[in-house]
Structure 1
Amino acid sequence: MSGHGGTGRPDRGRDDEGRESRREGEVAHAHAQYERDRAENLLQRARRSTDPAEAARLRDQGERLKERSERALREEHEPWPDDQQERHPD
């Protein structure tokens, strides 16, 4: 076998793992933005609703979704412990 690690496939290097991790991050970011936009839509519908019960339900749902999506967007900007070591080697 020639450098395939016994699996029949080439070994994945750090570059492949980095690209995959970056793609996962981009997907998570896009999903969080979508959820935030959806939350804003729910809040707008709540403001336009003439039914108080529906408005309360939409507002509650929108606020929960908005908080969750904004938390996800904030967390993605926090550095990972490995990132700190790579940027500032000891």
Structure 2
Amino acid sequence: MTARDGRQRDDRDRDDGGRETRREGEAAHAHAQYERDKAENLLQRARRTSDPEEADRLREQGERLKERSEGALREEHEPWPDDLHERYPG
């Protein structure tokens, strides 16, 4: 696909039938990493708190967020056309 200014845009098919640009893919990955870190923080807070109800709430939030973010991070993506993923002999 070509952008309005004539430059080549990297994009690929998304599951919803649309197109995902490289920048969107990288942003989604960064967001998933952020959410994973946030989940770890919630789980640490749950271990430190002395209030059992708050600990349960924080643990539940953290586990849900961690599961969702790790699922996004595990998704296998095809390399972009200009990525250098060649295997060298040796």
TM-score if structure 1 supplies the norm length? 0.67
Map of 2:72 onto structure 1: 72
Tell me, yes or no, if structure 1 residue 60 matches structure 2 residue 53: no
Residue 78 of structure 1, CA deviation: 4.1
The answer to which structure has the higher strand fraction is 2
2:21 counterpart SS class: helix
Letter in 1 for 2:9: D
Residue 79 of structure 1, CA deviation: 3.8
Give unpaired runs (5+ residues) of structure 2.
12-19, 82-90
Map of 1:27 onto structure 2: 27
Tell me, yes or no, if structure 1 residue 16 matches structure 2 residue 9: yes
Aligned mates of 1:17, 1:30 — CA distance in 2: 18
Which of 1 and 2 has greater Rg?
A: 1
CA deviations over 1:3-50 (Å, ceiling 9, x no partner): xxxxxx55x56x3143x7111111000000000000000000000000
Equivalenced residues, count: 69
Letter in 1 for 2:36: R
Aligned mates of 1:72, 1:45 — CA distance in 2: 23
The answer to which structure has the higher helix fraction is 1
Map of 1:40 onto structure 2: 40
Aligned mates of 1:55, 1:22 — CA distance in 2: 39
TM-score if structure 2 supplies the norm length? 0.67
